Amino acid sequence: MTGALTLLGVTFLVFGLSRIQGDPRSVLISDDASIDQWQEMGKQLGLDQPVYKQYMIYVVNLVQGDLGTSTLQKKPVAGILLERGWNSALLAVTAFSLTILIGVPLGVLSAAKTGGISDYVIRMFAVLGQALPSYWVGLLLILIFAVGLDWLPAARKSDWTSLILPTLALGWLGVSGQIRIVRSSMLDILDSEYVRLARAKGVTERAIIWKHVLRNAIVSPVTFASLTFASMLTGSIVVETVFAWPGLGLLSVNALNNSDYTILQGVIMLAALVYVLFSFVTDVVYTMIDPRIRIQ
Amino acid sequence: MQRLTFTSTPATFIRRLSKHHVGAFVLTYIFVILMALVFTAGCSGNNEHSAESITSPEIVASSTSTPAASTADAGDIAATETPPVIVDRTFSLAQSSVMFPAMVPSQLPVGSGGYIHRWGVYETAMTWSAGKPELENRLITDWEMDSDGLGWTLHLKKGVQFHGGWGEMTAEDFVWSFEDEIRETSIHSGIGLARSTGATIEAIDTYTVSIRLDQTSSFFFEAFLSNGSGAATKIFSKARADALGVDGAFLDISGGSGPYVFEKWNPGDEVVLQAFDGYHGISPYVTTVHILEIKEPATQLAALRTGQVDASLVPAPLAADIASEPHLGIQSFGIPGSQRLYPQGQFCMDETLSGTPVQPFPRPGYDPEKPWVGDCESAVSVESARKVRVAMSMAIDRQSIVDNILGGFGRPSYLPEVVPPLLDRVWQDRWFIPYDIDAAKILLDEAGYPSGIDGLMRITTGSHPLEVEIGQAVAQFIGALGGDVTTEVITYSGNRPSVVARERSDLWFRSSGGGTAEPPEISQLRRNPENAFNPGMEIKEPLAIISEMDSITSTEELDEVRERLYDSFSHNMWIIPVVLADQILGLNTDKIESWRMSSGSGYLGDFENIRFK
């Protein structure tokens, strides 16, 4: 129910914003066109209807699964999103894998070795990952691995090697966030009485960390991971633009530049849907991790 | 918990690490895997990634075995019966946008419309020659002007085949293409000019067409029949439109008659062109062209440096760096882009040139807070506003902008939208605008603004990588007169609705990409209130002069009136010209020997004129 209301709210927001960001006729029509032509095109695009009617038509179509037709390309938006969504998903899955494979172990290590050298190094790595802007990281990676070493392509989607740099640029932020949240969650648990009791009983440090502490600390990281994956899935505007990766993020930039608001609406609605869906899945996962949540 | 210490030997350290630090073990493992992946990619992918890049070599059995080889420039490819030679004829270009197909004349947006003929897929009756400002026949063999000066008869070339098997081009296709682009609902660039001149077209026989106007126009021929402007009439197959319908034809990329065929056009991603086997002219030397959309200029340059692409636009400040690299070079191309300031709000026409009342938007009226706008009813006020505009113009150090922002790749501009080669031909020294702050302050004082002027300057983006920097410099120069000029950066498309609605009376700094060969008077005609686009200048005087020009057909007479027009612009500064910014192309000089582009447009194109080493 909450998800449905959220989506409805998003339709309202998306529709309103799309009408603010520019008139699609400004791209379509030429400088020489007459004012009559300007108005005629407005009729063709339905821009002459009252705004509330335009909104009603939009919502009804949306409920029927019709995301509309691209104002400029005259192709169904759903098809365009599917094509571009696949590219974003590819990048998201690899970047998310990096987030989990590196972020969780480093977070655990950092918490387990609090105050140690490894903790400092990992925290610095995490702070840098969160502080450095993705576009800068992306350009630096291109400079080192493409221009400097000539190991990897500078940009665009080609073979599997073209996936590496955008994955690193996109993944570092996720890894950093994951490290910090795993570390802080684990530190909370490490201070608890049952951990001290386990140590007093002679349970090995490895078992304490991986069986008792991590399991009890995992709820927050799961939430973070879920939102991170959702944001990656719906396209990273900065990383996709820097690496010319033809995903949903780059599609949004082009749609914005060209005032193709039907595509923009489609991308944002898809993003909202993915977030709502992932929130739901996360709630389900909570109950699997911690049965008390279901009971409550 | 035990801690690692660094007092032990490396071997002991690693042993203790593996014993007590499971996390570090995992981390090391993952790190090694990742580095191995990167290294593997580095080794195996080295130079392979340029395959998208597009260096797929092509084996040519002999140079006479393919049309492309047989007609390539002599000397570039061996034209003898020799063993197979590997010839790389694939060319790749990074571009910030590849737009989208819209393959019906009446529905072609400005950008896509420019690309499809510049890329060599669609053709116009005539084209600008590469390297010299002359028109040459393309789809016609000859033309003559009607004796009354109101029309032209075009003799079409025979044997021109459309791509996709749509048959031979005839007069019927010519007529259909023109009529579709000027139909009622058309968004075609040239529709305003076509309507104002009452243009009609008629097929005389299979290979002859006649174009008639109801008034003379010195602009029409060049605008519609050459490839120099967005208004150029590209010839589409009527049979294709009949077979596919408008919607089907819109998305179909099989049409055209040029040296290249669309193989792929993925909007926002890439365009692939292939040489057309049945081309009626000389088959192109380069057989495959990849146009890759890379938005970020730094990434474009990285792709150029790594050989992923063969050519890319280069921002002026980096041009010297690119030129200094051993395998790269730079060249200017096309016509410089015009950077200028519109002092908006000069709405002084109640009716259009043809006498129609100005409708439907209410224009902002006279506002003393906008000193560059005069009260149209008061000669004194109009003169004060003129002095303010001239003062603003004199406060801009154009040469400094060229030197410090454009890195020398440009020139000061003193006439609005007048670009080479016309500019060089008609230039008069009296149009020079000195950088003179003291004189500017005196003018402001005379105009009643001794303490300078305040205002908002919008800088629109989308045409030149340095437009924001240039715009902000202009704002600072004008601010140096004593007032406070604030800036606001906005995309061109975001700003345009307010331009159409004539609702602004601010300062608007705008850059255009490379200019076109069209006479600047056509651009100025867009200030006529009957057009959708008007940057805030509806003034009868220049429009009346342009109207006068429209009925002249001799170049000498035309230049005389031009001089009067430019005197008028120079005196009044309705538009304040700032600089002409060169378009700079970075090239892989290890591969490319030459690329001659016609002077008729600012778009990259003419791929058939590329020659490899």
pLDDT digits (tens, 9 = 90+) for B315-329: 888 888 899 999 999
Distances (CA, A) of B18 to A111, B28, B31: 18, 10, 15
In a domain, A204, yes or no: yes
Q: Chain B closest CA to A232's CA: distance in Å? A: 20
Q: What is the pLDDT of residues B39-56, one digit of tens each?
A: 444 444 443 333 343 333
> Tokens 């480093």 identify what position?
A106
Helix (H, G, I), strand (E, B) or coil at B210: strand
**Inter-chain contact B23–A105, Cβ cutoff 8 Å?**
yes
Long-range contacts of B418-426 (CB under 8 A, 24+ apart): B418/B520, B418/B566, B419/B335, B419/B336, B419/B338, B419/B515, B419/B520, B419/B580, B420/B335, B420/B336, B420/B580, B421/B133, B421/B599, B422/B519, B422/B520, B425/B559, B426/B559, B426/B562, B426/B563, B426/B566
pLDDT digit string, tens, across residues B240-277: 999 999 889 999 999 899 999 999 999 989 999 999 99
The pLDDT assigned to A206 comes to 87
If you average pLDDT over residues B562-586, what whole number do you get?
A: 93
pLDDT, residue A34, reads: 67
What element of type H or E holds B204? strand B200-205
The pTM of this model reads 0.80
Q: What is the pLDDT of residue B78?
A: 35
User: How far is Cα B537 from Cα B302, in angstroms, rounded to an integer?
Assistant: 42
| Among B residues 40-99, those touching chain A with beta carbons less than 8 Å apart | 41-53, 97
Please compute the mean of the pLDDT values over residues B318-346 and round it to a whole number: 89
Runs of H (alpha helix) within chain A: 2-20, 25-28, 35-44, 51-63, 77-112, 117-131, 134-141, 164-190, 193-200, 205-207, 214-217, 219-233, 237-242, 248-257, 261-289, 291-295
Please report which residue ranges of B197-237 form alpha helices under DSSP H: 220-225
Instruction: Name the B residues in 226-255 with CB < 8 Å from any A CB.
Output: 230-231, 247, 250-251
Chain B residues inside the 8 Å CB shell of A156: 52, 292, 294, 303, 308
Instruction: Look up residue B1 and give its amino acid.
Output: M
In chain B, positions 333-392, which contact chain A (CB-CB < 8 Å)? Answer: 359-361
Lowest mean pLDDT among A205-209, B3-7, B72-76, B368-372: B72-76
**Among the partner residues A154, A243, A250, nearest to B268 by beta-carbon distance:** A250
- Using a pLDDT cut of 90, give the percent of chain B over it: 48
Residue B424 to residue B413: CA distance in whole angstroms: 12
Q: Is A29 on the interface with B (CB under 8 A)?
A: yes
- Phi–psi pair at B216, nearest 5 degrees: -70, 150
How many beta carbons lie within 10 A of that of residue B489, not counting itself?
16
> Which segment, A252-256, B466-470, B598-602, is predicted with the most confidence on average?
B466-470
The whole-angstrom separation of Cα B284 and Cα B236 is 21
Tell me if A12 is assigned to some domain: no
pLDDT at A73: 85
**A257 touching chain B per CB within 8 A:** yes
Q: Which domain holds residue A234?
A: 82-261
The sign of the torsion formed by the CA atoms of A146, A152, A156, A162 equals negative
- Round the average pLDDT of chain B to a whole number and report it: 82
- Give the per-residue pLDDT at B547: 82
Contact A33 B52 (CB under 8 A): no
- CB contacts, 8 Å: B267 with chain A: 73, 254
Collapsing DSSP to helix, strand or coil, B312 comes out as: strand
CA geometry: angle A131, A135, A139, nearest 5 deg: 115
What pLDDT does residue B10 have? 42
pLDDT (tens digit, 9 = 90+) per residue, B498-533?
Answer: 887 888 899 999 988 766 656 677 676 666 777 777
Chain A residue nearest residue B190, CA to CA: A32
Kindly list the distances between the CA atom of residue A292 and the CA atoms of A73, A184, A295, in Å, as whole numbers in the listed order. Answer: 51, 22, 5
Tens of pLDDT, residues A166-198: 999 999 999 999 999 999 999 989 888 888 899
- Say which residue the tokens 């920097």 belong to: B469
Mean pLDDT of B96-111: 86
Task: Provide the b/e sequence for B399-431 (b: ≥16 CB within 10 Å).
Answer: eebbeebbbebbbbbbbbbbbbebbeebeeeeb
- Whole-angstrom Cα distance, residue A219 to residue A182? 9
Residue of B nearest to A160 (CA): B41
In a domain, residue A254? The reply is yes
Q: Please give the tally of structural domains in chain A.
A: 1
Q: Which helix (H) or strand (E) holds B440?
A: helix B437-447
State the nearest Cα–Cα gap between A117 and chain B, in angstroms.
8
A164/B192 Cβ within 8 A: no
Residue A238 domain-assigned (yes or no): yes
What whole-number distance in Å separates Cα of residue B578 and Cα of residue B343? Answer: 13
Tell me the CA end-to-end span of chain B in Å, nearest whole number.
68
Q: What is the pLDDT of residue B602?
A: 67
Query: Position A35: which residue type?
Result: I
| 3-class state of residue B288 by DSSP | strand
Identity of the residue in A25, A149, A257 whose CB atom sits nearest the CB atom of B491: A257
- Best probe of the B interface among A17, A21, A30, by most B CBs < 10 A, is A30
Indicate if the pLDDT at residue B85 is higher than 60: no
In a domain, A53, yes or no: no
pLDDT at residue B416, as a whole number: 87
Instruction: Tell whether B5 lies on the interface with A, counting CB pairs under 8 A.
Output: no
A40 touches B at CB < 8 Å:
yes
Chain B residues with CB inside 8 Å of A251's CB?
Answer: 268
User: Is B496 near chain A, with CB under 8 Å?
Assistant: yes
Burial of A294 (0-12, 13-18, 19+ CB in 10 A): exposed
CB < 8 Å to B299, chain A? 139, 142, 154-155, 242-244
CATH number at residue A112: 1.10.3720.10
Give residue B586's Cα distance to chain centre. 17
Radius of gyration of chain A (CA): 24
Q: Distance of alpha carbon B33 from its chain centroid, rounded?
A: 47
Confidence at residue B62, expressed as pLDDT on a 0 to 100 scale:
31
With a cut of 90, say whether residue B202 has pLDDT above it: yes
Q: Is residue A61 part of a domain?
A: no
Q: B48-75 b/e with 16+ CB inside 10 Å = b? A: bbbebbbbeeeebebbeebbbbebbeee
pLDDT < 50 positions in chain A: 295
Q: Which residues contact B283 (CB under 8 A, 6 or more apart)?
A: B67, B68, B70, B71, B72, B259, B275, B276, B277
Please answer whether residues A255 and A267 qualify as being in contact, where contact means their C-beta atoms are separated by less than 8 angstroms: yes
Looking at B512-554, list the stretches that DSSP marks H as alpha helix, in order from N- to C-terminal side. Answer: 520-525, 540-549
SS3 A217: helix
* Residue B16 at interface with chain A, using a CB cutoff of 8 Å: no
Residue given tokens 């019927």 in the structure block: B172
pLDDT at B17: 43
Cβ partners under 8 Å of residue A33, min gap 6: B187, B191, B192, B531, B532, B533
Would you say residue B12 has pLDDT above 60?
no
Distance from CA of B306 to the nearest CA of A (A): 6
Question: Of B246, B306, B325, B492, which to mutate for an interface test with A (greatest number of A Cβ within 10 Å)?
Answer: B306
Please tell me the distance in Å from A243's CA to the nearest CA on chain B: 7
B297-319: burial string, b at 16+ Cβ within 10 Å, e else? bbbbbbbbbbbbbbbbbbbbbbb
The 10s digit of each residue's pLDDT in B203-246 is 999 999 999 998 877 778 888 888 877 678 999 999 999 999 98
pLDDT at position A39 is 75
Min Cα–Cα distance to chain B from A162, Å: 8
Q: In angstroms, rounded to a whole number, what is the distance separating the alpha carbons of residues A2 and B207?
A: 68
Asked whether the beta carbons of residue A40 and residue B185 sit closer than 8 angstroms, the reply is yes
- What backbone phi and psi angles, to 5 degrees, belong to B203? -85, 125
In a domain, A17, yes or no: no
pLDDT band at B21 (very low <50, low <70, confident <90, very high): very low
Cis check for the bond before B421: say yes or no (omega within 30 of 0).
yes
Residue B360: asked if its preceding bond is cis (omega within 30°), the reply is yes
Domain presence at residue A52: no
- Looking at beta carbons, which residues of chain B come within 8 Å of A101? 30
The pLDDT assigned to B48 comes to: 38
- The verdict on B493 touching A (C-beta cutoff 8 Å) is yes
Phi, psi (rounded to 5 degrees) for B60:
-110, 120
Decide which of A83 and B554 is more confident. A83
Q: What is the pLDDT of residue B54?
A: 39
**What would the pLDDT profile of B402-457 be if each residue is shown by its tens digit?**
999 998 889 999 998 888 777 888 899 999 999 999 999 999 999 999 999 999 99
At residue B300, the pLDDT reads 94
Chain B residue with minimum CA distance to A144: B302
H helix or E strand, kind and range, residue B490: strand B485-491
Determine, for residues B45 and A75 on separate chains, whether the beta-carbon distance falls below 8 Å. no
In chain A, the residue whose alpha carbon lies closest to the alpha carbon of B499 is: A26
A242 interfaces chain B, CB cutoff of 8 Å:
yes
Which residues on B lie below 8 Å from A33 (Cβ)? 187, 191-192, 531-533
Q: What pLDDT is stored for residue B76 in this prediction?
A: 36
